[in-house]
Amino acid sequence: MNTRRKRTIHNPILNIVLIILVALTFYPLFFTFLTSFKDNNQFYMDFWGLPNPVHLENYRDAFSAIMPYLKNSLIIAVFSIFFILLTSSLSAYTFARLRFPFKETIYLTVLALMMIPSMLMLIPQYILLRDLKLLDSFVGIIIGYVAGKQAFSIFVMRAFFSSQPDELFEAARIDGCNEIQAYYRIALPLIKPVLGTVAIISLLDIWSDYLWPLIVTTDPSKFTISLGLL
């Protein structure tokens, strides 16, 4: 098997084919990068040539145009992720570690929300924000994202909270921790990888989302990057 692998590595024809494929893959990216330093005249008069002179102001103009939208998206993403992690981790800890009436029924109801297509929730959410006078505001956009990510986040975090040994939390209670302290000092540090996973997934969804900001925002000063680029 090692001999076959060595033959494959030292096969010149295969290496040439791989080099060509890599070049074909990266050349469009490299060409786009070089073209970004040209002005309009250079682009039309010398399409395949190198930029001469180099126009760095292209990037300045581009970023100055989209910087307000980037700032809006960053504000919305940061606050949305913070409240998603806070509320869903508290709910997940409650479902995993506390006992109260109808706990399983409430949890199954939360999970059932994941089966409802998000499109069906847009109109009720819009009406709710309209009645609360939160349209055209960061708060309204953030509330929609926080509410929409609860079911998935609670489902993931509850599974990890439930997998932790009961003896760990019993020892914390014996040492004098109440439930909030056990949640903050014991549970949260144990699920840092889960928090990171939920944060990354939420960030990707929020940053690339187009429909929700389009529905609840008409003020250009509140546009996210997905709206501002169109």
DSSP annotation string for 42-89: HHHH-SSSPPSS--THHHHHHHHHHHHHHHHHHHHHHHHHHHHHHHHH
The stretch 101-127 carries a mean pLDDT of 87
Q: Which CATH class is domain 62-228?
A: mainly alpha
Ramachandran bin of 133, using left for φ above 0, alpha for ψ from -120 to 50, beta for the remaining angles: left
pLDDT at 119 over 90: no
At residue 6 the predicted structure's pLDDT band, cuts being 50, 70 and 90, is low
Give the residue with greater pLDDT, 7 vs 126.
126
Percent of the chain at pLDDT exceeding 70: 96
Per the CB < 8 A criterion, the answer to whether 173 and 182 are in contact is yes
pLDDT in tens, 45-100: 877 777 888 888 888 887 888 899 999 999 999 999 999 999 999 999 999 888 88
Task: Say what the pLDDT of residue 206 is.
Answer: 94
Task: Give me the residue spans of the domains in the chain.
Answer: 2-45, 62-228
At residue 3 the predicted structure's pLDDT band, cuts being 50, 70 and 90, is low
Q: What is the pTM of this model?
A: 0.78
The stretch 192-198 carries a mean pLDDT of 93
Task: Say what the pLDDT of residue 4 is.
Answer: 56
Which is it for the CA torsion 37, 40, 42, 45, positive or negative?
A: positive
Mean pLDDT score of the chain: 87
Task: Say what the pLDDT of residue 50 is.
Answer: 78
Least confident of 102-111, 124-133, 148-157, 164-173: 164-173
Least confident of 32-36, 46-50, 113-117, 220-224: 46-50
